[in-house]
Structures are given as structure tokens and as C-alpha cells.
Amino acid sequence: MRYKSVIKVLLTAACCILSPAIKAEDETHHRVGFNGALTSSYSWQLEFSYHYMFHKCVGVGGSAGTWAVYFGEGWASGNNWSIDDDDNEPWNLYLRPSALLKTPPFNYRACSWSLFAEPGLMLNIPYRRVCIESTHRLPAIDYEYVSTAKGQWLAVDIRLGVSIDMGPCGISAGYLMSNLDVYSQQRHLSYKGVSFDKFYPKKSFMQGGYISCSYTF
């Protein structure tokens, strides 16, 4: 009977010690992150994200960020005119609602390893304005502007990869796929009857590498 009493006391003490930790884990729902990517369209993406984790494996939220082309694959120009250097490489701001899905973690030493999938929708600003340099009055240069509200403003993408959590801190890395056309708005611009569409490559599929640093609290 004395052994049973001792075991009962030990179990009670263990429950008292572990219950705050279990409760703290159950109350950990907020995941913030800083994410970056490089893509096959010679563009980069940077964003801040937030997900509310209903469960350690399921979350819903989104991100706000920007993307930009760092190497132009075309150049809109004509007789005595050309697009300004800075405007030849498109960029945009976006919101990206998404869901975060993770497999149950595999624990190894102090790390928890999971596979993840993050499907989302990229909502871009539906407006583009560029500067045109006109050289018909050399040596002077005139500047004009053309703009459009057309082009792709909604893109579908998904991110797949591996996530490593060390306590509240985490690192995720993987592969992204998207139907974002970085030159979509550029194609709808024209100057003096010349459409910009023919100057830029057409790509219906974008892929790239993705990395994220996160903190859960």
C-alpha cells in the first residue's frame, strides 16, 4: 500500500509539472514569419506572414509582400524612344491569403521535422505606370508616361517543402510553383501605336526556391 501511495504522489507531481507545458503548447496559435524566394522568372519575393494555427498541423492566414524582376528579358523600344531603365523590370505589391498544412512532426533531438504545403492566392495591385524616354529632340530627352489597369492581378501558387522547429523558432525551405506572369501588365502597355507585348517573353509557369524564418507564440 505504501508503494501505491508513493506512485500516486509521483504521478500527481508529474501531472502538476507537465500540465503548464501542455497548456502552453495548446495555447500556441500565432505563427509569424519572414519569407523570401527566387524564381525562374528572374524575380525575387519578400514578405511578412501570419497564420493562426488551429492545430499544430493546420493554420489559416496570409502575407503581405513585394516581388520584383531583377533581370529583364526584354526591352520595349521604338523609333527614337525606349522605356526607362528602372521601369523595364516590373515589380508589384501583393496580399497572399493562404492555408498552412503540416504533417505530424518527427522529433529528433531538439528539433521537430515536418513536411508542409502552403497553397495560396497572390493578389497584385492592378495598375502599372512606366516612363518613356523620347530622343527625337537630341541632345534633349523628353519624358512621357503610359499606364494600364489591365493585366494579371490574381495568381495561384503553392509552396512545398520541409519545416524544422526548434522550440518556438522555425525554418522552412522548399519549392514553389505559380502561374504568375511577371510581364502581364507590361504586355498591355503601348506607345505611339506600338504594343509592348512583343518585347517580353511569355511564360505560363513559374517555379523557384523558397525559405522562411518563423516564430510561434
Q: What is the CATH number of the domain that holds 91?
A: 2.40.160.20
Task: Say which residue, 177 or 80, is predicted with more confidence.
Answer: 177
Q: What residue numbers bound the domain in which 98 lies?
A: 2-216
What was the pLDDT predicted at 204? 81
Q: Is 170 exposed, middle or buried (0-12, 13-18, 19+ CB in 10 A)?
A: buried
The predicted-structure confidence for 117-157, as pLDDT tens digits, reads as follows: 999 999 999 999 999 998 877 676 889 999 999 999 999 99
pLDDT bin (cut points 50, 70, 90) of residue 202 is confident
Count CA atoms closer than 13 A to 130's CA, side-chain side.
30
What was the pLDDT predicted at 14? 46
- Is residue 81 within 8 Å of residue 49, measured between CB atoms? no
Give the span between the Cα atoms of 97 and 29, in whole angstroms.
Answer: 17
Give the span between the Cα atoms of 50 and 170, in whole angstroms.
Answer: 13
Residue 101 has pLDDT above 80, yes or no: yes
Count up the domains in the chain and report the number: 1
Give the span between the Cα atoms of 163 and 113, in whole angstroms.
Answer: 6
